[in-house]
Amino acid sequence: MGMRVRVASAGTGKTASLVLRYLELIASGTPLRRIAGVTFTRKAADELRVRVGRAVEDVLEQGQHLGFVADPAGRARFEEARLELGGATLTTIHGFMAQALRLSAPLLGLDPDFSLMSDWEAKALFEEEWQSLLYLAADPEHPLHGLATPELGEALLFLFDKRSLAGAFEPAPGEANERLVKVYQAVFAAYERRLGSNLLSPSEIERRAIGMAGNRRAVERLLERYRVMLVDEFQDVNPLQGEFFSVLRDAGMPMEVVGDPKQSIYAFRDADVEVFRRARREGLELEPLSTTYRHAGVLVRFLNRLTAELARRGLGFGPEEAPSVAGVRGEVGKLELHWVEGDVPMDELRRFEAQVLAERLRALSSRVPLSQMAVLARSRASFPFLEEALQREGLAYVLLQGRGYYERQEIRDLYHALRVGFDPSGLSLAAWLRSPFGQMGLADLERVLTSEAPLSTLELAFPEVWERLERVRRRVRQSAPLEALKFLVREPFIGGKSYLDFLDPRARENVDALLFEVARRPPRDLEVLLERLQMLSRQAEAGDVPQSGEGIQLLTVHAAKGLEWPLAAVFDLGRMNSRRAQPLYLGEGGRVALPDTPCFEAFREQAGAREEEESYRLLYVAASRARDVLVMTGSVKEGKATGWAQAMVEVGFGPDAPAYQRPDYFHQTWRYRPVAEVRPLSVTAPPEIPEWLEARFHPNPYPPLYSPSALKKEEAAPLPLPDLEEGEEIPGRARAVGTLVHYAIGQNWRFSDPNHYRNLEAQEVMFPFDPDERRAILQEVGELLGRYEALLGEGLPWPRDEDYPEFPMALPLGDTVWQGVIDRLYRVGERWFLEDYKTDREIEPSRYHFQLAVYREAIRQAWKVDPEVRLVYLRFGEIVPVGRGELEAALREVDGR
């Protein structure tokens, strides 16, 4: 019982140890379905499932896996585990919490089929509730009048972002803090009421899961479902998640957790290393994993020394969290340390440092292919120096993680283009006019925006830009959001060019990624898409899409967590630790302190100390990514080491350490020298330009499958697909009348027949209407059917030799297959008739010429007969013949023949 805790340093086979633990539990009689495997990411959970599956197969086929040897008498248990693997609980922390809640949802006041929403959606709802409260609090009678004021907005949103750090926020001393917490509690209560019992965000899942502790039956049900829980990456859990695991532990759930405090680097995602440390103190500590399977010999020695010296000084972790490890690989490996010293600005030193690194990577490429190298940087601000140096040396590289994808210019251009299509005013109009869509200079822009009527000025002075804006407005208003976005990206309406033509390859990849993302979850209306893009633009961790291609991989240390390469380089060791300003700071127990309140400075210093500690753990993560070769570079200005460089000095690897040039260890300090400009790549002969390079693939004006009746509308639209969330479209009265009339004619029903009347009344199209509306609809249907029956035997021949009501057809024309249903096709003697029945309130035959032309052409091609085509207007009792010349002209106009 209780919690067992194990420390596992980088490369020591943490996942392998979990897999072995699975095998031990299965062999001891614990079914796989009774084991809860929990880790930090979906990718890690999927990997664990695959590894467990392979291990079970090894046991069944070979009788062992790694160091585990199975008892042949227990084979049936592993055969059972193989069958259960697909449904076994191997999931993320939030995934397990959601399963636990669904298991006892009614007991907890939840809908068992509750939906999950993302953090950005949750924040949008919270912000809406804040704006609502702000509006209501303007009333002097409101209890928060005078307390809820606009300047609290930033602090409220910050608290909402950090709600996984504490079960409840409490004000630190100070009236402003009490006011903020009171308003936050009111907004959060409204937000929770809005979520109800069937919608939860990740943080609300955490809160609800912790609340299970108060329901004995719910906890017992969970304990009956699982006999043991295995938790990976425990150093990355946040305080609420830690409390949840404590609740289960105290309730009697056997739990084994594994992690590495030295790799706790996700404080910006609310991870708290103290949760792991508290688990070590309160639980049973197991022997740490002490064998590294990743690192070559010289890197093992370096990492042991680095962690021991940092731990001795209390920099990021303690001695008990930094056990010495032994390597098992025979390779010696290589460690290189390169320092740049000088009195010039740091950016100049970094430029030369990047050049030194690029030259070393080129030299080492004879030993390690470029595609198996990675360069890690603490800050994305280091990337430009790296890219410049690698280009100078002609080394291919791939940027795996950039910053602020939703803040990229090309994404913001499209955001503003959608915004002006919805509302051509405000800042979005200015941004659109300056973008490739408007291409307007500053002087012209000022002239338009400072005028009394900017849109009128734009129309008179810049008609071409005005027409472009009008096209955007029409398309955005008339199309679904995804189709509008496709138009903005791909349509060549900017002087014969599309928006993509103005972008470099990197920006094109980002735009393509946006289209894929929106297509994956297409929003139902434009405002939802705009709000979604705006919310995502505030998330700093949203990075560029990965570049394709081969070469040296450039990425941040955070993005490198969990990965390894034969050669890893750590660049810019001299970059100083930076603190992000916050609107407030949190103390222990979720106490809130705003600026100019008594605890603010103390809480800020505590936060700074935590950031400083994490920076040393980040250094360990960076240095432990290499398998065989580790290259580290840093710049030191005027002999004063900063950032990680200072830590390296303290452990004896700084620029003042002796120079070495051994096969396994290279240490060099370089004096700064200016870097030459990028050398142009030499090209022996210009490449031959293929004929197809300038060819354009113009989109087909119609979808692959289309209805000819859609062309009677002003806007051509593909056949509607059902929305599973919205259900079927509710018909209007006109549609209900038309549907019933056509169906009755197709079935040869008589309105005067009581059975036929009841059949019409029972049709599904009538369900949305109340009894009075149904009677009115049926009265109108009866009048139209009466006129139809009066035409039978007169203008409409009866009886018939062959008769085909509601006759389906399909006709391929060009790249489109036109599909529809002919109301009536019949033969009387040698004459064939094709008729279409209309319930319109006006006679306009030209609206239906193309539709009828397609029907006629399909019959001509399939049956080799040429029917007489007629429109039957039932409200007027009139039969309107449509001539062959009119039909052929309509077909040529659309088909282009």
Give the tens place of pLDDT for each residue, 464-522: 999 999 999 988 888 888 888 889 988 999 988 999 889 877 678 778 777 877 777 77
**CA Rg value for the chain:** 35
Residue owning tokens 């010296």: 309
β-sheet bridge partners, residue 834: 825, 869
The CA distance from 441 to 461, in Å, is 13
Alpha helices in 569-696 (DSSP H): 600-623, 644-650
Any residues with CB less than 8 A from the CB of 732 and at least 6 apart, and which? none
Q: CA distances (Å), 869 to each of 751, 799, 834, 837, in order?
A: 26, 18, 5, 11
Would you state the pLDDT for residue 508? 80
Q: What tokens does 307 get?
A: 């962690």
pLDDT at 169: 96
Tokens of 465: 């830009």
CA dihedral sign of residues 379, 385, 388, 391: negative
Distance CA 1, CA 858 (A): 76
Q: How far is CA 891 from CA 601, 895, 896, in A?
A: 78, 6, 8
**Phi–psi pair at 697, nearest 5 degrees:** -100, 105
The parts of the chain modelled with pLDDT lower than 70 are: 1, 400-407, 506, 524, 531-532, 534-549, 677-690, 692-699, 710-731, 895-897
Asked whether 640 and 311 are in contact (CB, 8 A), the reply is no
At residue 553, the 3 state secondary structure works out as strand
Which secondary-structure segment (H or E) carries 832? strand 831-838
Angle, in degrees to the nearest 10, between helices 442-449 and 454-461: 130
Longest dimension (CA), the chain: 111
Rounded CA separation 374/562 (Å)? 13
What local confidence, expressed as pLDDT, does residue 699 receive?
67
3 state DSSP class of 561: coil
**Strand-pair partners of 587:** 591
> What is the per-residue pLDDT for 506?
66
Contacts of 787 (CB under 8 A, 6+ apart): 874, 875, 877
Cα four-point dihedral sign 179, 183, 186, 188: negative
User: Residue 565: in which H helix or E strand, if any?
Assistant: strand 565-571
Query: How many whole angstroms separate alpha carbon 545 and alpha carbon 556?
Result: 14
d(CA 252, CA 36): 14
pLDDT for the residue numbered 694: 66
Number of Cβ within 10 Å of residue 619's Cβ equals 25
Which residue, 476, 477, 482, 485, is CA-closest to 523? 482
Question: What is the secondary structure of 204-254 as a DSSP string?
Answer: HHHHHHHHGGG-HHHHHHHHHH-SEEEE--GGG--HHHHHHHHHHHHHT--
Query: Tokens in use for 118?
Result: 């993302």
> Which residue do the tokens 């034969």 mark?
566
pLDDT at 42: 83
* Whether the Cβ atoms of residue 617 and residue 316 lie closer than 8 Å to each other: yes
485, exposed or middle or buried, with CB in 10 Å at 0-12, 13-18, 19+? buried
The pTM score is 0.67
> Smallest Cα–Cα separation from 130: which of 181, 182, 190, 170?
190
The pLDDT tens digits for 281-311 are 999 999 999 999 999 999 999 999 999 999 9
Residue 165, both tokens: 């750090």
